Amino acid sequence: MTLHSHNRLACRAILVASVAGVVTVAPARAQPAPVVAWGSNSNGQLSVPPGSYLAASAGTEFAIGIRHDRTLVGWGANWDGQLNVPPGEFVAVSAGFWGAAAIRADGTLAAWGSNIYGLATPPSGTFTRVSVGTSLAIAVRTDGTLAGWGAMWLPIPTGTFHDAQGGRDFVVGLRTDGTLVAWGDEFAGVLNVPPGQFVAIAATDKHGLAMRSDGSVVGWGNNSSGQLNAPPGPFVSIAVGDGWGAGIRRDGTLAVWGDGSYGMTLPPVGRFTSVDLGDSFAVALRACAANCDHSTTPPALNVNDFVCFVNRYAAAESYANCDASTTTPVLSVNDFVCFLNAYAAGCP
């Protein structure tokens, strides 16, 4: 149930309180990072397997992650085989109620878990995004058109889309012109999408959220738990669960609002690159800047990462350029040596 802006790399409940599965994408140059989880732990869904991840998606009491080697792993409930992930390399994943779906490295779809409504039988072709809801799933083809499966009883709109998100019995799509369209079963105003242009969407059982280019968030549908009352932005990504919502601010911190059961609105502190909400728990990828230069040869961490890091994050510090150099890169290991001798000499 996460939602990612289509122009950013920053990213599901029981039948009565269903969950929407939003695609969680692992960018081509994603930095592997730890996954943290919070909220209900009724089926071990907070027990994230050790390791580093490129993406993670929360479903109904289970989650699926893309490991650093692009293989899949699942944890939590396994009532319908949701954790029986397929082999291979993947670039995106979405966890729903009955199961999950993922996009392989070659763009084709894989789906697993229960095959109720045909949810484990995805269409052929190549895709860029996939979203698994409660009884339906929707995916964006590489040409921008949509393909749906499961309990998709209404015609899918024509045209091209950046994204589409499946709720319980409805779908909301983000067209390439930035406008929204929704179709399916009308309940609590879920089809009454706001006008205007947007860069990201998220949908779940009874409500949806959309993010404008300025990072502000607007919601529609049911607001019984304050799930539409997003705090002021700006945000870079958003996510929804049944009765709650979340977003990552531009500084990487998390904001969560709506239903506070199980401590769901008490997110971990720190900086994050993606977040996804399940029925009553959430998963998020921490921002990990250690391997700043994205090197893959050993040792992965070296002096180049220090130079990369300080130039990216410390360039505005008044005394970072300790040696007053003007050559590129402005900040280098010489500044570190200079700094230590200028300010740390004599320290134990």
Task: List, for residues 226-242, the tens digit of each pLDDT value.
Answer: 999 999 989 999 999 99
Residue with tokens 């510090």: 317
- Contacts of residue 14, defined as CB under 8 A and 6 or more positions apart, other chains included, come to 60, 97, 279
Q: Answer yes or no: is pLDDT of 169 > 90.
A: no
pLDDT grade for 317, boundaries at 50, 70 and 90: low
User: What mean pLDDT comes out for the span 23-49?
Assistant: 83
Cα(235)–Cα(247) distance, integer angstroms: 6
Strands 2-4 and 254-258: unpaired
Helix (H, G, I), strand (E, B) or coil at 247: strand
Kindly tell me the burial class for residue 328, based on how many C-beta atoms sit within 10 Å of its own C-beta (0-12, 13-18, 19 or more). exposed
Q: In 210-317, which residue ranges form alpha helices assigned H by DSSP? A: 303-313
Distance of CA 210 to the CA centre of its chain: 14
With CA atoms as reference, report the closest residue to 117 among 153, 91, 82, 146.
153
Cα(68)–Cα(75) distance, integer angstroms: 16
More confident call, 314 vs 237: 237
CA distances from 156 to 97, 107, 229 (A): 22, 21, 30
User: What mean pLDDT comes out for the span 58-75?
Assistant: 97
Terminal alpha carbon distance of the chain = 50
| CB 142, CB 107: distance < 8 Å | yes
Residue with tokens 């921008």: 144
Cβ neighbours around 346 below 10 Å, total: 4
Cα(163)–Cα(329) distance, integer angstroms: 39
pLDDT of residue 300: 67
pLDDT digit string, tens, across residues 278-310: 999 999 999 876 666 666 677 767 778 777 777
pLDDT grade for 19, boundaries at 50, 70 and 90: very low
Q: In the chain, which residue ranges form alpha helices assigned H by DSSP? A: 303-313, 333-339
Q: Could you give the domains of the chain?
A: 2-286 (2.130.10.30), 303-344 (no CATH)
DSSP code per residue over 129-183 = EEEE-SSEEEEEETTS-EEEEES--SPPP-S-EEEEEE-SSEEEEEETTS-EEEE
pLDDT grade for 342, boundaries at 50, 70 and 90: confident
Cα(112)–Cα(84) distance, integer angstroms: 7
Cα(299)–Cα(173) distance, integer angstroms: 44
pLDDT of residue 287: 87
pLDDT of residue 8: 26
Cα(282)–Cα(292) distance, integer angstroms: 27
Helix (H, G, I), strand (E, B) or coil at 74: strand
